[in-house]
């Protein structure tokens, strides 16, 4: 399935970026929308080379890929559109496990307590966030100090919008607003770097 999603992104988003949204949301840049129940909605947005690829063929390819998915949870194609050279692909996932299984990209969305139980060690450099602005350096103990905190852990370089207020981010994450942050790729080619966004 990892190769399959890679083919989807290659076909649709040559030189493009990923983004996400829900039924009542939209995005023009890479954004992963995560609600407090752990459901994920992603919209992929990027350049579409009409000379090389047909929009209808692309849509059918995506549909058949989703129908063939037999992994954890559910994966649904919400919409596909191509407008003035820009392709937009909206996907819905029942949870982060379904997202990871379908895309081959690591993602966790849930409570900090659950993340620790799943093996995430939170041994990162964190920054405190106050009213949408990064402020002071924070410790691992600060991040783990509230059982009500939730976290999104991912490796994809894209925007992430959470249903809540961001309180801490790890290195490689830039805060855009109280509920949105931008995840950056690793500075070292080939390195898989996990990024943490803690919110409440």
CA distance between the termini of the chain: 33
76-108 burial by CB neighbour count: b if 16+ within 10 A, else e? eeeebebeeeebbbbbbbbbbbbbbbbbeeebb
- Residues 142-194: tens digit of each pLDDT: 999 999 999 999 998 999 999 999 999 999 999 999 999 999 987 777 777 89
Confidence bin at 199 (pLDDT 50/70/90): very high
Instruction: Note the residue count of the chain.
Output: 200
For residue 44, how many other CB atoms are within 10 A of its CB? 23
Quick check: pTM over 0.75?
yes
What are the residue ranges of helices labelled H in 48-111?
55-67, 96-103
């Amino acid at each position: 399935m990892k190769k399959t999603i890679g083919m989807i992104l290659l076909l649709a988003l040559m030189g493009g970026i990923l983004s996400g949204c829900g039924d009542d949301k939209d995005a023009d840049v890479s954004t992963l929308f995560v609600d407090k129940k752990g459901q994920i909605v992603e919209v992929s947005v990027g350049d579409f080379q009409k000379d090389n690829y047909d929009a209808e063929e692309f849509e059918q390819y995506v549909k058949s890929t989703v129908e063939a998915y037999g992994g954890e949870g559910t994966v649904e194609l919400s919409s596909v559109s191509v407008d003035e050279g820009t392709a937009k692909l909206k996907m819905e996932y029942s949870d982060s496990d379904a997202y990871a299984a379908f895309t081959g990209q690591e993602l966790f969305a849930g409570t900090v307590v659950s993340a620790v139980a799943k093996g995430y060690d939170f041994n990162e450099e964190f920054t405190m966030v106050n009213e949408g602005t990064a402020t002071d350096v924070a410790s691992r103990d600060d991040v783990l100090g509230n059982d009500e905190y939730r976290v999104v852990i991912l490796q994809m370089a894209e925007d992430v919008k959470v249903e809540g207020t961001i309180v801490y981010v790890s290195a490689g994450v830039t805060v855009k607003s109280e509920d949105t942050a931008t995840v950056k790729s690793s500075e070292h080619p080939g390195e898989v770097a996990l990024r943490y966004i803690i919110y409440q």
